[in-house]
Structure 1
């Protein structure tokens, strides 16, 4: 007989105050994504959508994801803070429609575990015909929205500094480099020549693992895609601040460079 799963955390404690903000802010909506767990129980992943100032018909759509590994709390907290920050500083998102997913691995978050209920790394399961319910519902979100940009927030317990993976859009390097510089005000950067067994250049890796959360293979226009990593063993508050600093610069730089890309 197997022991019952111990749920050590309460997801509603995270989402309830954000849901209240959504009720009070016409630019912010709470659009949690429902799905059936493997046991047939109704579950959901938290999702918030913020429409920044400007003509919504021309907004760039960016998805920001965290908690695909359930024990990486800094990204989860950063998105929660970002929702609050956007309410006070909507200009930060001018020209954007931001889709914010703070907890992409519900079971892992509730049990404070990296893994899914079946002990799988969900960030190796995308676009492989996975039967993991969280992967399938996130794939549906990626298919439906066809994002112009995707940012995934992570923390790495084998790194002593900040780094990031880049994929897709030719301007990504020009977005990630200043983001790492801004985040470097809070934590050091990892300048190792090899990070996570990949060749790295000043904290930037241009390769990556198969099966990570990424745009649909059928998406014709490839978005900019960034995986931003903080050192998991560093001070938690500094990690959150580093994530927020990076997101602010990513949004600022991509919007400018997408319009001036011909000059790069």
Structure 2
């Protein structure tokens, strides 16, 4: 299969042009039995149309019992590894649909399009998108994603990020009581690609073997009132590592999370 992009080279401005970046995936979705493009169009100002990229991947299995998971990348526009990993993950799932058996996956590869285009962490307004959720934000991208989160009521959320202050992999966990047991094997699996951060304090939070159970207010998360709580994982790669290794670590971690959660839910239901 033709690669979506060459991860070994620095990302050019042209590679940050979202329609160009996503075109191969959109073409794939046209004839795929499992992958569908469902981009969300919106207007920031009169006559200027933009999109929030969105894909649905329906794995094999009985759709009546699907586990529904949202995967989000590019919340911070200067963290390109998650964007490319989301695209690579969808290509991988198209080639091996069994990896997504029992899942309905909603993938948002570029949540902050303006920031991604400019290689900037921030939204066009200068605000940090990942501090705006569930606070009555006026940011259009935040409002659109909140509507998705409210409507789809995910069983799990995976956010792909990179941290320029960390030399290794780590993650934040919250929500479902099984979440920690899902992140641990993901860190172990991705640890064959990049080292794990075992510091006792990461990003000013207490950490245990690369797992943090606290977090910032306003991050992309399930609606506060949602019951039962989904699993929520923020998976972080070291930003200064080689891009191709970050992408590979994100993809391996995401596939491991999906596999482990499916097994744990099956065991809990005694299936």
Residue aligning to 1:119: 126
Q: Distance in 1 between matches of 2:47 and 2:143?
A: 15
Residue aligning to 1:3: none
Do the aligned residues in 2 keep the contact of 1:8 with 1:111 (CA within 8 Å)?
Answer: no
Q: Which runs of 5+ in 1 are unaligned?
A: 1-5
Q: Distance in 2 between matches of 1:186 and 1:8?
A: 24
Residue aligning to 1:89: 96
- Are 1:237 and 2:244 an aligned pair? yes
Q: Distance in 1 between matches of 2:185 and 2:245?
A: 18
Q: How high is the TM-score relative to the length of structure 2?
A: 0.92
Residue aligning to 1:152: 159
Do the aligned residues in 2 keep the contact of 1:171 with 1:261 (CA within 8 Å)?
Answer: no
Do the aligned residues in 2 keep the contact of 1:123 with 1:211 (CA within 8 Å)?
Answer: yes
- Are 1:249 and 2:250 an aligned pair? no
Q: Distance in 2 between matches of 1:9 and 1:225?
A: 28
The one of 6, 23, 29 aligned to 1:16 = 23
The one of 156, 171, 174 aligned to 1:167 = 174
Q: Distance in 1 between matches of 2:141 and 2:218?
A: 14
Q: How high is the TM-score relative to the length of structure 1?
A: 0.95
- Deviation string 1:219-257 (CA, Å, 9 cap, x unpaired) is 121000000000000011000010011011100000010
Q: Distance in 2 between matches of 1:155 and 1:40?
A: 34
Residue aligning to 1:47: 54
Shift of 1:261: 3.2
The one of 179, 184, 193 aligned to 1:186 = 193
Do the aligned residues in 2 keep the contact of 1:108 with 1:116 (CA within 8 Å)?
Answer: yes
Q: State how many pairs are aligned.
A: 258
The one of 114, 128, 135 aligned to 1:107 = 114
Shift of 1:41: 2.1
Residue aligning to 2:41: 34
